[in-house]
Amino acid sequence: MSFGTTEYKERIRKTKDRMAAQGVEVLLITDPANMNYLSGYDGWSFYVHQMLVIINDEDQPIWIGRTQDANGAKLTTWLYHENIIPYPEDYVQSNTKHPMDFVADILKQIGLETRSVGVEMENYYFTAKCYEQLKKGLPNATFKDASHLVNWVRIVKSNQEIEYMKRAALIVEKAMMDGINLINVGVRECDVAAKILHTQVTGTAEFGGDYPAIMPLLPSGEKTSTPHLTWTDERYKQGDTVILELAGCYKRYHSPLARTVNIGRPSDKIKALSDVVIEGLNSCLDMIKPGIACEEIEETWRKSIERSGIIKESRLGYAMGLNYPPDWGEHTASIRKGDKTILQPNMTFHLIPGIWLDHYGFEASESFRVTETGCETFANFPRELFIKDGILMNN
């Protein structure tokens, strides 16, 4: 397990406190990050239906999943083996059976069919079919939307979680530098991606890396006008701007980082945009501290860049840490106007003031944790526009 039993039990306690506040007696968790957070379960099995059941008057959760994944639950969780309940193979992607039918039967067998049941409605892994089958199988239960209940428990990290994120940051530093060093005229985008992925997995000499929740994002040229493109087999050209947004990952904990490279002398507009973004990013990092609201960070950014005439419509950042594909964000606090979440020590965020205009863009980001007096970035990496002369990197 990634953590001791004591830490898992404390997480369960905090989760039950939130359940009680929301009137939830039984919590059905399908988000693999939340499953991992409360049980330790770690497997690439989230493409089929699986669940962790938290019951308000039971000490341990119940894991329910595919039969062939049950041994994985025994190997990675702190649960008693009798709390690991597999469903048969004929429930997998069947036209006549559904795993939620099995879940409903289990809940009825242990006398929970009339309880208040919380489900993660806003969740990639909980489908409309899941909800319909649960309601059909538990007609006397009262269903409540418990979306992000566990996510909000996760927002303040333990010291051990922070340590894992620091290790992830060492990995992302290496991966970012490897990517920047390889980018050049004539190099294929896919070869840069391969180098980055290799570094993300091999990690450092002291510890290896994990697969990140998001693949390396590597838009180049005019494609830098949008953030979420990966790579092609095209070759870089003189004058190309290339954005790199990637993360190190250790024991499912992430440290994202974004930087921008220009092959050859950057245009005046790219240089001006990079100056604006980096100045705004620095201004935000300088003012972050416990007790302020997320929206105050965005206000600082807005005031910092207002004389440039640039307007950023998208949010400035978000809480992040433990996760699985397709996203390393926690889906809780966002750094944007109107978000009044108050910063506390050991909250962790990805601050990414990227600007994407009609034909070009620029990104520079930092992942940080809130400290007792301010904030500290996880990575230690030059915060600038990197310039390649077509042969060697000048920075």
Residues 221/241, Cβ–Cβ less than 8 Å: yes
Read off the pLDDT of residues 178-211 as tens digits, 9 standing for 90 and up: 999 999 999 999 999 999 999 999 999 999 999 9
CATH architecture, domain defined by 5-154: 3-Layer(aba) Sandwich (3.40)
pLDDT digits (tens, 9 = 90+) for 257-293: 999 999 999 999 999 999 999 999 999 999 999 999 9
- The reported pLDDT for the residue numbered 395 is 40
Average pLDDT over residues 40-64: 97
136 to 102, 103, 142, 177, 383: CA distances (angstroms): 12, 12, 12, 53, 54
Confirm whether 5-154 and 156-388 share one CATH topology. no
Can you give the pLDDT at residue 389? 85
| Biggest distance spanned by C-alpha atoms of the chain | 70
List residues bridging with 87 in a β-sheet.
66
Domain residue ranges in the chain: 5-154, 156-388
Percent with pLDDT over 90 in the chain: 96
Residue 60 has pLDDT above 50, yes or no: yes
100-110 confidence digits (pLDDT tens) = 999 999 999 99
pLDDT band at 391 (very low <50, low <70, confident <90, very high): low
158-177 residue pLDDT tens: 999 999 999 999 999 999 99
Closest by Cα among 50, 64, 46, 81 to 252? 46
pLDDT for position 311: 87
Domain 156-388 sits in CATH 3.90.230.10: yes
Are 256 and 328 in contact by the 8 Å Cβ rule? The answer is yes
- Whether 393 shows a pLDDT value over 70: the answer reads no
- pTM for the structure as a whole: 0.96
With cut-offs at 50, 70 and 90, classify the pLDDT of residue 1.
Answer: confident
